[in-house]
Structure 1
Amino acid sequence: MRKKPSETLEQPAAQAVRRNPTQQRSRERQELILTVATQLIADKGCDQLKMSEIAERSGISIGSLYQYFPDKSTVIRTLAERYNAESRRCITQAMEAVEDAQGLQAAYSQLLDLYYEIVMATPVMRDIWSGMQADKQLLRLELEESRVAGALLAQAMLRVYPDIDEQQVQESAFLIWHLGEATIRLAVTCAPEEGRALVEAFKRMSLREIMEPVPD
């Protein structure tokens, strides 16, 4: 028996209606898992994070959890990628607005200050950093983010100083950004007054390289 045209046209729509609630529930469950994992990391650190505890607190079976995240590293990576995405957005916005040396100095200084303040206000970021140090794949992710941020800084420097050696600028910017990450990590482990002084010291050192590049 042949289907009527109306039945054929209605079928995809009906299927879409059935799929959407399932997709929405999956997204909500994933967000719940990540929220629970974030709280556990904040409370205990990455080393003590256990998949079984994430499943228990999320109210799901361990089998269901593994469908979303096959291991602990995947959970940490997902959280790190979210923080990285927001950081990249801020860096891109600030560096793309740079038009002159004054703007370059202001944008870089403000980004460094903002990053320090965000990490101070979000202790779980420190624990995620710690969890990344013991995993080679996560370390590569961190290194790649430093390359991306360094490239954005280099592009701004080259707009301001078009006569300088491009490769040298790219290498310097990459190193500056990676060392900046290390400085922030050190600073947040110190007392606030000392931590702020360390950030300011690194800012002075790095700005000398950023604002006085060697001509080609």
Structure 2
Amino acid sequence: MLAASTLLTTNSVDKLTTRRISELADVNIATLYQFFPNKEAIIFALYQRWLNEMDDVFDRMEMKQSKQMGWRKLFIKIFDALNQVQTELIVRDRLLKAMGMNEDLRQLDLDHSIVLSKRLAKLMANQESHLSECELQEHGTLIFHFERALVTPLANAKGDDQEVLYKKGRDFLLEMISLAFR
């Protein structure tokens, strides 16, 4: 997994091969195939690891949230934590681009987007949003997809530009969320 992730920091998904992964990991390719039958299985596992990191962020925030914290502070903490997960930005970007490779990856991505959208909606509801459950679900979906859309520009930005872009993106997300509390 580390070797595949490392290769993705310098190469696109189409240049990722099981042979290159096994060489970098210093593992016989036959051994690699015992755990991962193909490149897509490795990508699936990397993507699943990133999804688990995001789930962990939501688990922590759901436990910490309180109405006294206020929705703005809660969502700033969520977005900052999502931005700081262990999976590197460039790897996240390349994994997102790989999601169209096969049906299993597309389905995993779709299933997870629904789960996280619902979690966003639940967090907004717990902070006493005035929107209906259906409206919150739609709002959560929009927020999820916008946050996801920030990955590529952030991965391509460097230094101070990356920080400025992140803060502007986060501020826009907070503005979108504020509509649920007006």
Name 1:110's counterpart in structure 2.
77
Name 1:83's counterpart in structure 2.
50
Name 2:92's counterpart in structure 1.
125
1:73 is displaced (CA, Å) by 0.6
Q: What's the secondary structure of 2:37's corresponding residue?
A: coil
| RMSD between aligned residues | 2.8
Q: Relative to structure 2, which stretch is displaced further, 57-66 or 78-87? A: 57-66
Q: How does 1:40-189 map to 2 (within 5 A)?
A: 40-100=7-67, 102-118=69-85, 123-161=90-128, 163-189=130-156
- The unaligned stretches of length 5 or more in structure 2 are none
Q: Relative to structure 2, which stretch is displaced further, 52-61 or 168-177? A: 52-61
Q: What's the secondary structure of 1:99's corresponding residue?
A: coil
1:50 is displaced (CA, Å) by 1.2
Question: Relative to structure 1, is the Cα distance of residues 39 and 120 closer, same or farther in structure 2, using a 3 angstrom cutoff?
Answer: closer
Name 1:194's counterpart in structure 2.
161
Alignment size in residue pairs: 182
1:150 is displaced (CA, Å) by 1.8
Alpha-carbon distance in 2 for matches of 1:43, 1:202: 25
Alpha-carbon distance in 1 for matches of 2:89, 2:131: 38
Alpha-carbon distance in 2 for matches of 1:101, 1:210: 17
Alpha-carbon distance in 1 for matches of 2:20, 2:154: 31
CA contact (8 A) 1:46 1:131 kept: yes
Which structure is larger by alpha-carbon Rg, 1 or 2? 1
Question: Relative to structure 1, is the Cα distance of residues 211 and 141 closer, same or farther in structure 2, using a 3 angstrom cutoff?
Answer: same
Moved over 6 A (4+): none
Deviation string, structure 1 residues 57-96 (Cα, Å, up to 9, x no partner): 4455444432321110100110111121122111221134
The structure with the largest helix share of the pair is 1
Alpha-carbon distance in 2 for matches of 1:148, 1:36: 29
Deviation string, structure 1 residues 9-28 (Cα, Å, up to 9, x no partner): xxxxxxxxxxxxxxxxxxxx
1:176 is displaced (CA, Å) by 0.4
Q: What's the secondary structure of 2:180's corresponding residue?
A: coil
The percentage of counterpart residues that share the same residue type is 21
Q: Which amino acid letter does the alignment assign opposite residue 113 of structure 1?
A: D
- The unaligned stretches of length 5 or more in structure 1 are 1-33
1:54 is displaced (CA, Å) by 2.7
Question: Relative to structure 1, is the Cα distance of residues 60 and 117 closer, same or farther in structure 2, using a 3 angstrom cutoff?
Answer: closer
Question: Relative to structure 1, is the Cα distance of residues 193 and 162 closer, same or farther in structure 2, using a 3 angstrom cutoff?
Answer: closer
1:211 is displaced (CA, Å) by 2.8
Alpha-carbon distance in 1 for matches of 2:131, 2:10: 48
Q: Which amino acid letter does the alignment assign opposite residue 167 of structure 1?
A: C
Normalising by structure 2, report the TM-score: 0.81
Normalising by structure 1, report the TM-score: 0.70
